[in-house]
């Protein structure tokens, strides 16, 4: 199956870079070199079809390769290291999570009693083992992507099948809970989306806790358990990751960039940027 998947990949993406596909929820990415860069993953699954990648969190690294996959049911900033070469390029498939489909799957699964092999950690990002069933669905998705008509007719059903197999994975307890609205995980997920959408505005942790209908202490505890960051650390990481992207893409001045991502002091912005990336923003 893996050899067949590799053949399908070679037909779909020849050049390095990001490629959109006929199924709007799916993008392919290829790199023939090793590189490290900050990325913000939001409501997605990442399947490595060739090569490998490491996502770095405080006190924890997540490695994902063809034998496993990454699931991000929230919004998480990561420093990612990608490993690829000309002979063995990195190729990944990023699949956006359709919330309406996942709500339906989570509600259906909630009616069943499932025992997860691993202890529940509440972390809002995880890896899981690529099963033969997932490999089979990935193979059929890659086949469909070669045809615009086939993608249009079969895309939704293939995505739903893929979501289902991921949702019943051994580490997927957080994913299921996040899509049940009454759960703490869902409340924190909504808060993360608010931060992601409003990172350039003033954000007060006490107000975020209130909007989540949680006490401040409970909000802090669950927020860190899910993201591995405190709320303030998370806001800072989102802002600096966005700043990195802006400086590389739009060539803004350091001062303008600092204001665009929500900093009131360019000097503090430069200090935080250097602490995170190891060099000042003026050197990017």
Confidence of residue 116 (pLDDT cuts 50, 70, 90): low
Confidence of residue 284 (pLDDT cuts 50, 70, 90): confident
Per CATH, 2-118+125-176 and 184-283 having the same topology is answered no
Q: End-to-end CA distance of the chain, in Å?
A: 42
For 53-74, the pLDDT digits (tens) are 999 988 889 999 999 999 998 8
- Pairwise CA distance, residues 20 & 39, whole Å: 18
CATH T-level assignment (fold) for domain 2-118+125-176: Jelly Rolls (2.60.120)
Q: Which residue has the higher pLDDT, 284 or 203?
A: 203
How many DSSP H helices and E strands does the chain contain?
11, 8
Other beta carbons within 10 Å of 105? 20
For 155-177, the pLDDT digits (tens) are 999 999 999 999 999 888 888 88
For 174-184, the pLDDT digits (tens) are 888 888 766 78
Kindly calculate the radius of gyration of the chain based on its CA atoms and give it in whole angstroms. 20
Delimit the domains of the chain by residue range. 2-118+125-176, 184-283
CATH H-level superfamily of 184-283? Homeodomain-like (1.10.10.60)
Nearest alpha-carbon partner for 206 in 189, 193, 223: 223
Confidence of residue 117 (pLDDT cuts 50, 70, 90): low
Residue 204 has pLDDT above 90, yes or no: yes
Say what the pLDDT of residue 91 is.
95
Say what the pLDDT of residue 113 is.
60
Q: Model pTM?
A: 0.78
């Amino acid at each position: 199956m893996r050899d067949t998947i590799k053949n399908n990949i070679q037909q779909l993406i020849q050049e390095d870079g990001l490629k959109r596909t006929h199924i709007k929820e799916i993008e392919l990415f290829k790199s023939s070199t090793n590189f490290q860069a900050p990325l913000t993953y939001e409501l997605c699954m990442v399947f490595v079809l060739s090569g490998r990648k490491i996502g770095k969190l405080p006190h924890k690294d997540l490695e994902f390769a063809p034998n496993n996959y990454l699931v991000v049911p929230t919004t998480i900033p990561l420093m990612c290291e990608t490993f690829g070469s000309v002979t063995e390029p990195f190729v990944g498939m990023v699949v956006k999570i359709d919330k309406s489909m996942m709500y339906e799957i989570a509600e259906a699964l909630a009616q069943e009693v499932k025992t997860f092999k691993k202890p529940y950690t509440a972390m809002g990002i995880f890896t899981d083992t690529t099963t033969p069933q997932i490999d089979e669905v990935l193979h059929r998705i890659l086949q469909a992507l070669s045809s615009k008509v086939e993608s249009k007719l079969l895309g939704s059903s293939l995505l739903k099948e893929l979501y289902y197999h991921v949702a019943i994975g051994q580490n997927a307890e957080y994913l299921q809970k996040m899509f049940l609205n009454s759960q703490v995980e869902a409340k924190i997920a909504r808060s993360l989306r608010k931060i992601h959408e409003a990172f350039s505005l003033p954000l007060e942790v006490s107000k975020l806790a209130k909007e989540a209908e949680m006490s401040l202490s409970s909000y802090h505890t669950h927020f860190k358990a899910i993201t591995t960051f405190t709320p303030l650390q998370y806001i800072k990481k989102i802002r600096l990751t966005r700043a990195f992207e802006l400086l590389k893409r739009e060539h803004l001045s350091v001062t303008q960039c600092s204001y665009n991502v929500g900093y009131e002091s360019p000097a503090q912005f430069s200090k935080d940027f250097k602490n995170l990336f190891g060099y000042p923003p003026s050197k990017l």
